[in-house]
């Protein structure tokens, strides 16, 4: 890592282990599909196309899904000013700045590397936070880019997407592939594909969430140390955690698919079961971590 964000060797090790395990899972998944579907060309083309598209176009896909758009310095001078200062302090390339017009208070970073990164902030977040709190959130998001964990999460998540696509392809190809193929063997193949895909999705789901929870703590620490004001980030976390509960549940369900990328998860207070497999550590864990940083810096939490 060439920026001034504090490096995190544990995060790097966890990312390498996660990618290695997902790589093994991917090889096993493709091998099983080749045996079940008996169509090498289709399996390889679909797998490669999804991987390439997610890696190279992840920023565009995320912005489109969140209805975000890149904004100029004239449109959002305060936002650009904060990003400029943080990037100068961190000695890292400046990402594109985007805004999503939604009341959901959140932010996320995406892109395959620091030179092709996009930092997106919602209008709901900007309305709720003070300048120092917003700076803390943006420093947190920029640390994801500097640590390269945004790219890792993007690549890691594609395996579950492939599993879902393969199930749909197998279902429709077997159902509408002609009467001669609608026999008992066809049903066995279809059930086999679904079983393999479900197993792959479940394992990748757990691996990604285990990595995601740690990377949030690492980003909290790196962002707080860069700004020197962990209390501002703690204040933003506390404020947003309370405000998320007041967002309509329909909007939260729509946004929850992107929780792994968000600054704070789109969960309400009643989602205790969902938190068992959350992409983020609890608010208490994050505040405890920031309090420790405050003690290290000799500042009040």
Give the annotated binding-site residues for Zn(2+): 140, 144, 216
Residue 269, judged by CB atoms within 10 A of its CB (0-12, 13-18, 19+), counts as exposed
- Give the residue numbers marked as catalytic: 141
279 φψ region: left (φ > 0), alpha (ψ -120 to 50), beta (else): alpha
What residue numbers does the annotated binding site cover?
Answer: 140, 144, 216
For Cα atoms 286, 122, 129, give the angle at the middle one, nearest 5 degrees.
Answer: 55
What is the DSSP code string of 152-205?
HHHHHHHHHHHHHHHHHHHHHHHHSS-GGG-SHHHHHHHHHHHHHHHHHHHHHH
Q: Are 222 and 8 in contact (CB under 8 A)?
A: yes
Comparing CA positions, the residue from 194, 122, 128 lying closest to residue 163 is 194
Structure tokens at 122: 């919602």
């Amino acid at each position: 890592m060439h920026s001034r964000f504090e490096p995190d060797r544990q995060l790097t090790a966890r990312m390498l282990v996660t990618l290695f395990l997902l790589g093994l899972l991917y090889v096993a998944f493709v091998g099983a599909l080749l045996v079940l579907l008996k169509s090498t060309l289709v399996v390889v083309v679909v797998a490669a196309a999804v991987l390439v598209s997610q890696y190279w176009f992840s920023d565009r896909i995320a912005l489109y899904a969140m209805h975000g758009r890149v904004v100029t310095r004239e449109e959002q001078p305060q936002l650009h000013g904060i990003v400029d200062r943080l990037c100068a302090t961190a000695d890292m390339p400046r990402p594109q700045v985007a805004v999503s017009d939604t009341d959901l208070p959140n932010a996320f970073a995406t892109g395959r590397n620091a030179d092709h990164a996009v930092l997106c902030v919602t209008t709901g977040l900007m309305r709720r936070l003070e300048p120092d709190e917003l700076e803390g959130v943006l420093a947190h998001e920029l640390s994801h880019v500097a640590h390269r964990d945004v790219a890792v999460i993007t690549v890691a998540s594609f395996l579950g997407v492939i599993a879902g696509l393969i199930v749909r392809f197998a279902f429709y190809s077997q159902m509408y592939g002609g009467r001669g193929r609608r026999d008992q063997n066809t049903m066995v193949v279809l059930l086999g594909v679904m079983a393999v895909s479900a197993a792959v999705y479940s394992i990748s789901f757990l691996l990604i969430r285990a990595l995601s929870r740690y990377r949030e703590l690492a980003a909290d620490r790196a962002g707080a140390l860069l700004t020197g004001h962990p209390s501002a980030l703690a204040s933003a976390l506390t404020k947003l955690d309370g405000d998320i509960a007041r967002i309509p549940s329909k909007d939260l369900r729509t946004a929850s698919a992107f929780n792994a990328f968000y600054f704070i998860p789109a969960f309400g207070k009643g989602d205790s079961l969902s938190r068992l497999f959350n992409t983020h550590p609890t608010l208490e864990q994050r505040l405890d971590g920031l309090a420790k940083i405050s003690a290290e810096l000799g500042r009040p939490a």
